[in-house]
Chains A and B, each alone.
Chain A
Amino acid sequence: MAEFSTPTTEQQFAENFAQLKPLMNRTEALYESSRCLFCFDAPCIQACPSGIDIPQFIRQINSGNDTGAARTIYEANYFGNACGKVCPTEVLCEGACVYNLQEVKPIEIGRLQSFATTKVIKSGEKLFGPGVANGKSVAVIGAGPAGISAACELRVLGYAVDVFEAKAQPSGLTVYGVAPYKITNEETLAEMAYLQAQFGYATHFNSPINSRAELAALENKYDAIFLGIGLGSTNVLGLPGDGKINCLGAVEFIAELRQHHHAIKVGRRVVVLGGGNTAMDAASESARMGAENVVMAYRRGNAEMGAYAFEYDLAKSVGVKGLFNVSPVAILGDGYVTGVRFVRTATAGDRVHEVAGSEFVEPCDMVIMATGQAKKTGFLELIPGLQLDGKGRIVADAQTGQTTNPKYFASGDARNGGAEVVNATAEAKVAARGIHAYLSK
């Protein structure tokens, strides 16, 4: 049944993972920008967590001022290019487009955004620069959307900024976690290089901060510390047999895929456990890697999945099959995975219960668990006075991003529990201003 044959070259990989939002050319951008109605108090702006003045940049593209369009975008959102490609625009700006109410295709805002920003990234045209140095410095932990956005904004405000990243590359999940058909590694890293060249923050890769001693050193050296640490590895379900070979976490699977492309091996029959957007990504990606049978198993009904409807549609379009109201009981196999034992479930009110005697085995040779990411509570406990909420999220002031340890500020997944790139970048910008307000007192 496989729609896709297993890619063995970079070119085949690129074909199987063709960009969902390919780059527009000037003509398409002209046509698309011409369709914009330029609404008053436009709903698309309201729907954008980073508040990009969308009609303004569309007007600028339409009048041939692509550079100005890029400036409008970056003024509001440092991940302007990435957001154009990875944002769930269907439920944000494009979902709010008034054309939807007329049953007319909404403006392709994401692609227009990428069009303008790609142009300046490619030309290297400098739009911004750091502000006048104020003699203070901030350490940023984590080079993801939150950390890099905070670094940019802090540089504008005149701070010296050091970004510490455990991994080898910046942008966090944008390069390690987003599905490859949403954005390429090259695109992601080009934007990172573009930002760094303009704002001039220092980056320290392969530099994990893990211990109290390392934190203490940062606390001594810097005036404030920004936490953009994101989430940890996939939650462990504790299923019998989950240590078998080819049973892995979705986050780890996707990170491998993003870095090694066709060099990784995917099973012939894959079972994905979960019903969120990460489950959709892992399932779609397995299918595009040539898996013959991809089943996405979720313990509740179709309508209750956490994933966006368009993400499920996308998964179905590449042959993924949904298996609903089932709960995994055990991972089967002898060394290697050979199947998953499920029990059927029923929902009574809000509660899911297992249906006795309904167990069955779904044979497979790979299991991907998309069961959420763990919070980095162990690390966060090293910060004195830092409060977490009941779900392990960092407690921080909504207006300033300041945590319960006044020297620490936080944004992104570690604070909001796991949201979009655009949420992280928008929150981080606010937090950077919170740091500025705190240090200007």
Chain B
Amino acid sequence: MPDLSINFAGIKAPNPFWLASAPPTNSGYQVMKAFDAGWGGAVWKTLGVPVVNVSSRYGGVNYRDKRLVGFNNIELISDRPLADNLREIEEVKKRFPNHAVIASLMVQSRQEWHDIVRQSQDAGADGFELNFGCPHGMCERGMGSAVGQEPKVLQMIVEWVMEVATKPVIVKLTPNISDITEPALAARRAGANAISLINTIQSIVGVDLDRFAPYPVVDGKGTNGGYCGPAVKPIALNMVKNCAQHPGIKLPISGIGGIENWRDAVEHILLGASSVQVCTAAMHFGFGIIREMAAGLTQYMTDKGFQTIDDMVGRALPNVLHWEDLNMKYKVTANIHAEKCIGCQLCYTACEDGAHQAIRLNAGTRVPEIIEENCVGCNLCSLVCPVEECITMERTDDGTQRLTWKERTAAGTIPTEFNDERAGGRHHWVPAPAAALGKERHKTLPGKARLISGETQVPVTGE
């Protein structure tokens, strides 16, 4: 049985699943309920000078029938008095001494930082997370992402905190910046013990088409919010990787962004996170999702032979390279397994219109055919195919050769002129432009178009 417990920068927890600082950690009631359900830790809803929130705070992005593939909020930090929060932190820690309770903090002056760190320590918090990420409301007051976007300011504030902190300090980073490693390095320089990322992404999740206002609508108006949920995972994974690979950072990372099931968590861990934080999924489905996450992680670790979380942390990092270091001799070609094909022809139209015209249709069958000499191995057909394992990408090089862009650059074999013979697509067949005209009109304009063009053949079905 693998051991899920972690020691994250000195903060111990029975498992790596923490609730992120957000509405689910607004009160002792919620945090206790979460720990009861099986969560390993909780980063308390950000403490500071209490705020006043607006009504109508969240907006969602739905994809077809799937709700909240993206989510945003315009809620601010805790609106509860500090004393109430601290009293409840103390109560939670008494009942759950082995669970991680981390105080998320956001204030302005050095004195305020000192005061709130000391008071949180006294309440029994296991560590701190400095909220330099909130991209709405608080940043307009010079806090949150306003700090996270200014490495020098960030460093100064972290230094203030380190002056009094006796518990580990995590700096939470905003993704609303072009290079995430800059604030991470600033945190490192200031002596922070860990970083967590990503906070939410500045966003407008949608526009009300009748009221002409962005969601969430507040009395006919709206504002940008912070984006999170499953849709942001790819952005989060890339930023986690960037920080984990940077030789100058070398801090434990708490991965946040789009984690809803064990797979998402494992991905964050394989790219360098040693704890993970969850918010949207808990807001959508409740604390009970922890059972699937913990069970899935345990099964995965068992299957892979990992004893501890540390065994897995960063295992994918050696395989994340710069583009220039990828092997350009590697070649895959699409292969359609005709016996599995259901004839939707999505691969055909995707390749025809969106890629390299490397799939053809043949009379008398709905199963498309790959034109191997045109296939560049882009994967698009296999991605749009609705049938599992129907289109596979098969390796066609013999695996003995390796050549990277970097090596080609060094060797002087890269294209350098506008009409260079060495251009990758120089000898790749493309159809004559005018061959496109009318080619699929009868197929892409069906129904009415067929009728009007006089091509209708009305089938008669017997008697």
Which residues of A are at the interface with B, using a C-beta cutoff of 8 A? 30-31, 33-34, 37-43, 45, 49, 51-53, 56, 62, 72, 75-76, 98-99, 101-102, 306, 391, 398-399, 416-420, 423, 426-427, 429-430
Contact = CB atoms under 8 A, between A and B. Distances in A.
9 contacts: A30-B65, A37-B344, A40-B348, A43-B366, A49-B458, A51-B448, A56-B446, A98-B343, A419-B461
A101 B343 CA distance: 9
B448 A49 contact: no
Contacts of A45: 446-447
B111 interface: no
B448 A418 contact: no
Given A53-B448, A423-B458, A423-B461, A98 B342 contact: yes
Contacts of B454: 399
A416 B460 contact: yes
Interface string B51-79: 00000000000001110000000000000
A33 B64 CA distance: 8
Contacts of A430: 451, 456, 458
Q: Is the interface of B mostly helix, strand, loop or mixed?
A: loop
Contact of A429 (B64, B65, B440, B451): B451
A417 B443 contact: no
A56 B443 CA distance: 12
Contacts of A416: 460, 463
B443 A40 contact: yes
A51 B450 contact: yes
Q: Which 8 A-B pairs have the closest CB atoms?
A: A53-B447, A34-B65, A34-B64, A40-B345, A41-B443, A40-B349, A101-B342, A98-B342
Contacts of A429: 451
Nearest to A48: B447
B364 interface: no
Nearest to A46: B446
A370 to B, nearest CB: 13
A240 B450 CA distance: 52
Interface string B425-463: 000000000000000100110111011001011111111
Given A51-B450, A72-B447, A75-B447, A40 B462 contact: no
B387 interface: yes
A37 B346 contact: yes
B447 A51 contact: yes
A419 B456 contact: no
Contacts of B386: 37, 102
B447 A426 contact: no
Nearest to B459: A49
A416 B462 CA distance: 8
B10 to A, nearest CB: 47
B453 to A, nearest CB: 11
A52 B447 contact: yes
A62 B342 contact: no
Nearest to A45: B446
Contacts of B450: 51
Given A45-B446, A72-B448, A429-B451, 15 more contacts: A30-B65, A37-B386, A40-B346, A40-B349, A45-B447, A52-B447, A53-B448, A72-B447, A98-B343, A102-B387, A306-B462, A420-B461, A423-B459, A423-B460, A430-B458
Contacts of A418: 463
Interface in B340-361: 342-346, 348-349
A336 to B, nearest CB: 33
B65 A76 contact: no
Given A34-B65, A53-B448, A429-B451, A41 B345 contact: yes
Contacts of A427: 458, 460
A39 B345 contact: yes
Contacts of A101: 342-343
Interface residues of B, number: 30
B132 to A, nearest CB: 39
Contact of B344 (A33, A39, A72, A306): A39
A47 to B, nearest CB: 9
B447 A76 contact: yes
Contacts of B456: 51, 426, 430
Contacts of B460: 416, 419, 423, 427
Contacts of B447: 45, 51-53, 56, 72, 75-76
Nearest to B386: A37
A430 B386 CA distance: 37
Contacts of A53: 446-448
Contacts of B443: 40-41
A416 B463 CA distance: 7
Given A34-B64, A418-B463, A430-B456, A39 B448 contact: no
Interface in B383-407: 386-387
A55 to B, nearest CB: 9
Contacts of A75: 447-448
A70 to B, nearest CB: 13
Contacts of B349: 40
Nearest to B447: A53
A238 to B, nearest CB: 21
Contacts of A391: 463
A423 B343 CA distance: 26
Contacts of B462: 306, 417, 419
Contact of A62 (B64, B348, B463): B64
Contacts of B64: 30, 33-34, 62
B66 to A, nearest CB: 8
Nearest to B390: A102
A33 B66 CA distance: 12
Contacts of B458: 49, 398, 423, 426-427, 430
Nearest to A31: B65
Contact of A76 (B345, B387, B444, B451): B451
Contacts of B444: 41
Nearest to B345: A40
B361 to A, nearest CB: 8
Given A30-B65, A31-B65, A419-B460, A98 B451 contact: no
Contacts of A398: 457-458
B60 to A, nearest CB: 15
B357 to A, nearest CB: 14
Contacts of B345: 39-41
A399 B343 CA distance: 30
A34 B386 CA distance: 13
Nearest to A426: B458
A399 B453 CA distance: 12
Contacts of B446: 41-42, 45, 51, 53, 56
B235 to A, nearest CB: 25
A423 B66 CA distance: 37
Given A40-B346, A41-B345, A99-B342, A49 B461 contact: yes
B348 A76 contact: no
A51 B454 CA distance: 12
A401 to B, nearest CB: 9
Nearest to B460: A416
A145 to B, nearest CB: 13
Residue in A45, A62, A101, A429 whose Cβ sees the most chain B Cβ within 10 Å: A101
B209 to A, nearest CB: 9
A72 B446 CA distance: 11
Nearest to B388: A102
Nearest to B63: A34
Contact of B463 (A39, A52, A417): A417
A403 to B, nearest CB: 16
Nearest to B451: A51
Nearest to B452: A433
Nearest to A44: B446
A427 B446 CA distance: 17
